[in-house]
Amino acid sequence: SVRLKSTLSTFFDEVGKAGIILKSASIGIFENLALEDWIHDHVDLQNRSMLLLWRNSPVVVIGRHQNPWQECNLPLMRRLGIPLARRRSGGGTVFHDFGNINMTFFTSKKKYDRHRNLKVVTSALKALRPDLDSNTSEVIKSNATPSVPSPVKNLLDVDPTLDSSTIMDAIASQYNNEFGFDGPVITVDPTHEALMPGIHKMAQDLQTWEWIYGRTPKFSVCTSLVVDDVTIQFDMDIKNGTVEQCAVEIPEDWLSPEMVNEFTSTLNGSKYCPNETAVLVAAFMRTHSMTGGVAEKIHRL
């Protein structure tokens, strides 16, 4: 582990190495994403390169500009207790769990070489299993929504004896070989506020509804539901994760046009999420008189 002097960036400056390898002690997605952000913001990457190795407990991670309602099965994730996180970087949607090793290559824009970074990984795997087929030409390229499905292979299917520690050690060794570094692997705890001032707030900010859902680019939802052989049409414009405009086509024997307008006005400005919508609909039903049959139908919407 890193010995505490003042901050992590000061420690790196005193060590004076051109290449540093870090391994996160956390398996929490928000702590690890915050660690990425902290390194990017506080470490001099013009004069040194860094490799960060990290793993997460089960989580779905979307890119900075992606739409979680389009990319993910949110109801299933809620039922399974799988959280959602949004990166500050771009790219596609991925699922992380303990069988997944993440690598972040830090360097200056001038020195960044995607092919050499990929070579570090493929060479490490070949060193462990020379017969492993890892084609360096198969680079995932995804610059915008939607995500691009890519071929994957489970390493345990090839060699059941491989584990994450063995693979991370091989990647670290190959990183040093490829770039001419000689640094050890340093384990760092991203919850250590004294070592990385401000990182706790970074992790907190990444967990907010406003960041995960509210940063979604504007989109529209057009859907219809059939209730008792009656088709109900919903049209919504969603901006910053909230309902900007809502239109609902409901038969007049269910709700009068005036009440429909009140109903849609209730939804306007609300978060586009099941819990908030359910609360607003329940409040609307309590404050408006309607027959039991109509109330039941509205509740089923």
- The CATH number of residue 230's host domain is 3.30.390.50
Section 196-201 average pLDDT:
96
Three-state SS at 272: coil
192 shares a domain with 78: yes
Residues 203 and 290 in one domain: no
Q: Kindly list the strands in the beta sheet with 94-96, ordered across the sheet, starting from the edge strand earlier in the chain.
A: 84-86, 59-62, 94-96
- Burial group, residue 65, by CB count within 10 angstroms (0-12, 13-18, 19+): middle
- 174 Cβ contact list (under 8 Å, min separation 6): 120, 121, 123, 124, 127
Question: In the predicted model, what is the mean pLDDT of residues 283-298?
Answer: 67
Q: Are 171 and 229 found together in one domain?
A: no
* pLDDT score recorded for residue 293: 62
What's the mean pLDDT in 21-27?
97
**Phi, psi of 206, rounded to the nearest 5 degrees:** -70, -15
- The encoded tokens of residue 165 equal 């520690």
The answer to the question of residue 75 being in a domain is yes
pLDDT over threshold 90, residue 294: no
In the chain, the percentage of residues whose pLDDT exceeds 70 is 87
Q: Which of 177, 212, 247 is where one domain is finished? A: 212
- Domain with 25 in it: 8-212
Quote the pLDDT of residue 297: 63
User: What are the b/e assignments for 248-279, b being 16+ CB within 10 Å?
Assistant: bebeeebbeeebbeebbebbeeebbeeeebee
* Among candidate residues 221, 276, 227, the one with its CA nearest the CA of residue 246: 221
187-210: average pLDDT: 96
Instruction: Judge whether 208 lies within some domain.
Output: yes
Q: Does 19 score more than 70 pLDDT? A: yes
Q: Could you tell me if 140 and 262 lie in one domain?
A: no
**pLDDT class of 170 with cuts at 50, 70, 90:** very high
Q: Report which of residues 185 and 286 the model is more confident about.
A: 185
* Number of independent structural domains in the chain: 2
Split at pLDDT 50, 70, 90, the class of 291 is: low
Q: Are residues 88 and 145 in the same domain?
A: yes
CA dihedral 68, 70, 72, 73 (to 10 degrees): 120
Q: Per-residue pLDDT tens for 202-260?
A: 999 999 999 999 999 999 988 888 877 788 888 999 999 999 999 988 888 777 888 88
Q: Do 199 and 225 reside in the same domain of the chain?
A: no
126-164 pLDDT per residue, tens? 999 887 765 544 333 333 356 666 667 788 888 888 899
Q: Which two tokens stand for residue 236?
A: 């919504």
- For residue 148, the model assigns a pLDDT of 62
Domain limit, last residue, from 195, 212, 229: 212
Confidence (pTM): 0.84
Asked, for residue 3, whether it belongs to a domain, the answer is no
Domain stops at, among 153, 187, 212: 212
Whether residue 59 is found in the same domain as residue 173? yes
Residue 135: partners with Cβ closer than 8 Å, 6 or more residues away: 122
